[in-house]
């Protein structure tokens, strides 16, 4: 039985940053989010890989306790992304995308996944996200969705439907401003709350995250890092650790949500310290707890 269903890509990434280079290593939003969630609970991935994926990569995911019943093995090649980060480490330049097996992938949730209480809809086409949500037998306790500028620009109405249907639709500050056409983050947050009548979380990259409810705001810092080695997957780690922590608690409220955001920032900060999933795969829950506690000192006054 899985605690969390993670709908997101499993991929090969070739990444170049000022600090290093990887060649066709394990990546994808589903991979990062599942590994991040696995420190707290049992996630299952819904995605597809090709015949080139290999047992070693399967092994990495299995070792993390991730359920792979929902990971289809399809004829063809695994989704491939090639990107480069320059001096401004916060924005990637995509050099190549090969959708490969994900081109025609129609996600079908395994029966036992349909009863999960926690659902993470990784950054994807909003129609595909809504389709996965519809397959759930009962409404999960918590649905977190992720989105990006491309879909906000090209499928605004569908993204708004995701904001409405999910409990939390994660976006970054630029995306929130774009979606609601306002320079004010707090106004964008209020628009999100109007749609889903609960809360809004807006990611601010190296500046942390904002949680906004009808009652007020929680402003979480990002962990101050001297060097961001590779930011690929940090957003997915943030979402994955958040939902992983909440699934472990079995319930959701504002107090736990504040903690979940700090756990999200913690795991994302570790991930940024290594190329690809390298660092993420080398840390333990003890490392995460230690850095979580450091956050208390970082905001204390």
Binding site for a copy of itself (CB under 8 A): 87-89, 183-187, 190, 204, 206-208, 210, 212, 216-222, 224-228, 258-259, 261-262, 294-301
Nearer to a copy of itself by C-beta: 65 or 221? 221
As measured in angstroms, the least distance from the Cβ of 186 to a copy of itself is: 4
What's the CA dihedral at 176, 180, 182, 185 to 10 degrees? Answer: -40
C-alpha distances out from residue 177 to 89, 152, 202, 211, Å: 21, 10, 10, 15
Nearer to a copy of itself by C-beta: 266 or 271? 266
As measured in angstroms, the least distance from the Cβ of 239 to a copy of itself is: 18
As measured in angstroms, the least distance from the Cβ of 199 to a copy of itself is: 14
Nearer to a copy of itself by C-beta: 155 or 204? 204
Question: What stretch of H or E contains 241?
Answer: helix 234-249
As measured in angstroms, the least distance from the Cβ of 234 to a copy of itself is: 16
Per-residue DSSP letter, 88? S
Nearer to a copy of itself by C-beta: 128 or 178? 178
Give bridge partners of residue 204 from the DSSP assignment: none
Distance from C-alpha of 29 to C-alpha of 208, rounded to nearest angstrom = 19
Nearer to a copy of itself by C-beta: 133 or 260? 260
As measured in angstroms, the least distance from the Cβ of 280 to a copy of itself is: 21
Nearer to a copy of itself by C-beta: 75 or 183? 183
Distance from C-alpha of 240 to C-alpha of 13, rounded to nearest angstrom = 19
As measured in angstroms, the least distance from the Cβ of 177 to a copy of itself is: 10
Cβ–Cβ < 8 Å for 7, 29: no
What's the CA dihedral at 259, 260, 263, 264 to 10 degrees? Answer: -140
* Per-position DSSP letters for 192-219, written without gaps between them: HHHHHSSEEEEE-GGG-EEEEESS-EEE
């Amino acid at each position: 039985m899985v605690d969390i269903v993670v709908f997101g890509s499993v991929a090969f990434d070739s990444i170049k940053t000022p600090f290093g280079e990887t060649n066709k290593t394990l990546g994808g939003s589903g991979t990062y989010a599942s590994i991040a969630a696995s420190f707290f609970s049992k996630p299952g991935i819904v995605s597809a890989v090709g015949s080139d994926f290999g047992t070693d990569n399967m092994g990495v995911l299995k070792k993390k306790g991730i359920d792979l019943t929902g990971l289809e093995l399809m004829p063809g090649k695994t989704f491939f992304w090639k990107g480069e980060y320059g001096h401004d480490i916060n924005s990637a330049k995509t050099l190549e995308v090969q959708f490969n097996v994900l081109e025609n992938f129609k996600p079908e949730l395994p029966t036992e996944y349909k009863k999960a209480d926690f659902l993470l809809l990784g950054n994807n086409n909003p129609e595909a996200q809504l389709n996965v949500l519809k397959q759930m037998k009962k409404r999960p306790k918590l649905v977190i969705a992720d989105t990006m500028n491309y879909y906000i620009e090209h499928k605004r109405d569908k993204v708004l439907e995701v904001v409405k249907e999910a409990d939390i639709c994660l976006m970054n500050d630029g995306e929130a401003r774009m979606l609601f056409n306002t320079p004010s983050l707090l106004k964008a947050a209020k628009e999100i709350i109007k749609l889903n009548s609960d809360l809004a979380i807006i990611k601010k990259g190296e500046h942390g995250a904002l949680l906004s409810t009808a009652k007020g705001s929680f402003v979480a810092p990002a962990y101050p890092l001297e060097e961001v080695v590779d930011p690929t997957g940090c957003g997915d780690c943030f979402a994955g650790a958040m939902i992983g922590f909440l699934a472990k608690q079995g319930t959701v409220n504002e107090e736990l949500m504040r903690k979940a955001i700090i756990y999200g920032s913690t795991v994302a900060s570790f991930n940024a310290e290594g190329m690809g999933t390298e660092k993420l795969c080398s840390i333990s829950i003890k490392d995460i707890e230690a850095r979580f506690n450091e956050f208390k000192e970082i905001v204390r006054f």
